[in-house]
Amino acid sequence: MVTVLHCATPATAQTFTPGTFTPQTPRAFSGLFQDTVTDFRNLTSKDTLTMLAVGGLMAAAVHKMDQPATTMLSGSGTGFLSSGETIGSARLQIGSALAVLVAGKLTGSPKLAAVGADLVSANIVAQTLTTGMKMGVRRGRPDGTEFSFPSGHTSVTFAAATVLQRHFGWKTGVPAYAVASYVAASRVHDKRHFLSDVTFGAALGIVSGWSVTVGHGKAQMSMSPMATPGGGGVGFTWTGK
């Protein structure tokens, strides 16, 4: 699958290729938090830094649409997006991740336990990065409160979706990302975040999920800048299951 993101900036001649990932064994419960420290180190790789840079460019590109998007979604008058706050809450996300981990341990399923452990770690990484940025940026929310940028609900759900996609492929990844996108839209609808908040939150979540699943799954991703009419773009190529 190839996705092209365009932004009106001068094109570059560089090409980015992903590094070689070394397969990992499922993390043990006792070493979960020690492994999570390693996950934070993975954030400094060229892969993840490039993804964060692209997320920042995308957030900047949609910044001018913040108010129109808020007006459109918040004025829709539909209850369809009312469940997003609950689905993306830290309580539900970390609780579900722990439930999967415990279920894997109790049933003797290394695969299920590995998925649960990665979900827990991805949640920790996403929450830590999001909270740190919120405290540093302190952007006002559409409803007048603080800490709008980036969206925590969006980052944790996209982190979980990335973990699921990495372990089970796109048959699971597509609906998982659809749920994460639903949560992101609900945050704009509820006037808790601007469009640029959820855009960067999604990128932060993908990076968090990617950092904890290095070595898991057959899917690989490559990114390469490309020339487009009037500027430049970034092409994402996903290969594998």
Residue-wise pLDDT for 116-154, tens only, equals: 999 999 999 999 999 999 999 999 999 999 999 999 999
pLDDT (0 to 100) of residue 158: 98
In terms of DSSP bridges, do strands 2-7 and 231-239 run parallel, antiparallel, or are they unpaired?
A: antiparallel
Q: Decide if 105 is inside a domain.
A: yes
The total number of structural domains that make up the chain:
1
Residue-wise pLDDT for 195-235, tens only, equals: 999 999 999 999 999 999 876 555 455 444 544 455 445 45
**Residues of the domain holding 133:** 2-7+31-239
Q: Which of 202, 91, 181 is nearest to 189 (CA)?
A: 181
Whether the per-residue pLDDT at 189 is higher than 70: the answer is yes
Q: Decide if 15 is inside a domain.
A: no
Percent of the chain past pLDDT 70, that is, above it, reads 72
CATH number at residue 99: 1.20.144
Q: Decide if 141 is inside a domain.
A: yes
Q: Decide if 159 is inside a domain.
A: yes
Q: Decide if 12 is inside a domain.
A: no
Q: Decide if 14 is inside a domain.
A: no
Percent of the chain past pLDDT 90, that is, above it, reads 62
**196 and 187 Cβ atoms separated by less than 8 Å:** no
pTM of the model: 0.79
Could you give the angle at which helices 195-212 and 32-42 cross, rounded to 10 degrees? Answer: 120
**215 and 238 Cβ atoms separated by less than 8 Å:** no
CA dihedral 171, 177, 178, 183 (to 10 degrees): 150
Q: Decide if 21 is inside a domain.
A: no
Whether the per-residue pLDDT at 113 is higher than 70: the answer is yes
